[in-house]
Amino acid sequence: MSNPSLLILPGDGIGPEVMAEVRKIIDWYGAKRDLAFDVSEDLVGGAAYDKHGTPLHDDTMAKAQTVDAVLLGAVGGPKYDNLDFSVKPERGLLRLRKEMDLFANLRPAQCFDALADFSSLKKDVVAGLDIMIVRELTSGIYFGEPRGIIEEGNERVGINTQRYTESEIDRVARSAFELAMKRGKKLCSMEKANVMESGILWREVVTEVGKEYPEVELSHMYADAGAMQLCRWPKQFDVIVTDNLFGDLLSDAAAMLTGSLGMLPSASLGQPMENGRPKALYEPVHGSAPDIAGQGKANPIACILSFAMALRYSFDMGEEADRLEKAVEQVLADGKRTADLLGEEGVTPVSTSEMGDAVVAALDASL
């Protein structure tokens, strides 16, 4: 059988810096676990715009459709802020999500014991936290029509449309219930059924799907109250399912429960391919962090843990994913901290590459 194939799209800003550390991990699996991947690399975002005048070349899009999994760093940056909307770096990422039909975006927020002091919340609120946000990723206000900026009377109007079909809600709800079955059997669905028709439909469809999962305790919350509850007592949640925009906001908020945005990985999953593996893209939740790009300060853990999610969800290598997650946990327990995780006195930060090397050393020690 041929090796599993990976397309790596480092992107912009700290994207290439954190992806270089993931390459070390991939190499380690090839050398030490006999798990060789066929890796190819290409451009996305501003880097692709600089070379091709588009944030995602058609050839790259086509390649993404054929590989077993895509790993993406981050896109965007101030250099591209004034580009026409249609060629902005973020459009490249949105095209990948849409055309690969990656409707279920899994964003776990786990607080490692060693970092319980780093959250801006009290330690007992976050210690042991392990929640999973399932964000719908290919529809909603990100893609709904009509959209645009139009002239109306003597002024301009900016328009975006929140739109969800029953089948779009149904499939992401199913993904969330399936995950809940493998975890704590609790699912909280968040929308704003009090003010949005799409929220009313969302609640109805999720409730209907829930009848097929009687073991899962289903609850509903308005998304604004959900944001408040995430900060008040996040451990009440197991799995949260929500729409594209609310999921974007809630997952950034959840990131801070874990200590840093630099800690949060994600998996974006679609329909099964012919080989049975889901279409998949893995990326950290954070962006290109222009304020620290090029300085060797970025925390590579979110990107490394995204590769762990690839091992688990694309390659059915749960034990190897556990090994990598434990290696990260060990490095943190040993006191290694990138600058975003500082807070204790007398601790000198490690660089991006030192953090990657430390994870590789912990992997070695796991053998």
Q: Which is nearer to ligand IPM, 108 or 287 (CB)?
A: 287
Candidates 27-35, 98-106, 178-186, 290-298: pick the segment binding ligand NAD (CB under 6 A).
Answer: 290-298
Pairing of strands 130-136, 104-110: antiparallel
Order of all β-strands in the sheet with 186-191? 38-41, 5-11, 69-74, 278-282, 267-272, 104-110, 130-136, 239-242, 186-191, 217-222
Q: Is 192 a catalytic residue?
A: yes
Using CB under 5 A, which of 12, 21, 243, 248 touches Mn ion?
A: 248
94 interacts with ligand IPM by CB under 6 A: yes
Using CB under 6 A, which of 74, 129, 239, 359 touches ligand NAD?
A: 74
CA-derived radius of gyration, the chain: 20
**Cα–Cα distance list, 215 to 186, 211, 218 (Å):** 9, 9, 9
Selection from 30, 33, 32, 51 nearest residue 42 by Cα = 51
Site string for Mn ion, 205-244 (x = CB under 5 A): ----------------------------------------
Distance CA(307)–CA(324), nearest Å, equals 9
Q: Is 224 a catalytic residue?
A: yes
Q: Please state the separation of Cα 323 from the chain's center in Å.
A: 20
Active-site residue identified among 252, 322, 326, 357: 252
Selection from 240, 231, 173 nearest residue 202 by Cα = 173
264 interacts with ligand NAD by CB under 6 A: no
Distance CA(329)–CA(317), nearest Å, equals 18
93 interacts with ligand IPM by CB under 6 A: yes
CB of 298 to ligand NAD, least distance (A): 4
Site string for ligand IPM, 189-228 (x = CB under 6 A): ----------------------------------------
Active-site residue identified among 142, 164, 213, 313: 142
Residue nearest to Mn ion (CB): 248
Q: Is 142 a catalytic residue?
A: yes
Q: Which does 94 bind (CB under 5 to 8 A by kind): ligand NAD, Mn ion, ligand IPM, none?
A: ligand IPM
Q: Is 86 annotated in some ligand binding site?
A: yes
**Cα–Cα distance list, 60 to 41, 122, 149 (Å):** 9, 45, 30
Using CB under 6 A, which of 30, 290, 296, 349 touches ligand NAD?
A: 290
* Continuous segment of H or E residues that includes residue 152: strand 144-152
Q: Is 77 annotated in some ligand binding site?
A: yes
CB of 277 to Mn ion, least distance (A): 26
Selection from 77, 80, 19, 73 nearest residue 54 by Cα = 80
Q: Is 232 annotated in some ligand binding site?
A: no
Q: 9 in the Ramachandran plot: left (φ > 0), alpha (ψ -120 to 50) or beta?
A: beta
Q: 148 in the Ramachandran plot: left (φ > 0), alpha (ψ -120 to 50) or beta?
A: left
Q: Which is nearer to ligand NAD, 217 or 357 (CB)?
A: 357
90 interacts with ligand IPM by CB under 6 A: yes
77 interacts with ligand NAD by CB under 6 A: yes
Quick check: 329 and 99 in contact, CB under 8 A?
no
Q: Which does 136 bind (CB under 5 to 8 A by kind): Mn ion, ligand IPM, ligand NAD, none?
A: none
Helix (H, G, I), strand (E, B) or coil at 93: helix
200, amino acid identity: I
Q: Is 88 annotated in some ligand binding site?
A: yes
Q: Is 112 annotated in some ligand binding site?
A: no
CB of 74 to ligand IPM, least distance (A): 8
Site string for ligand NAD, 82-121 (x = CB under 6 A): --------x--x----------------------------
Active-site residue numbers? 142, 192, 224, 248, 252
Q: Which residues contact ligand IPM by CB under 6 A?
A: 76, 90, 93-94, 248, 285, 287
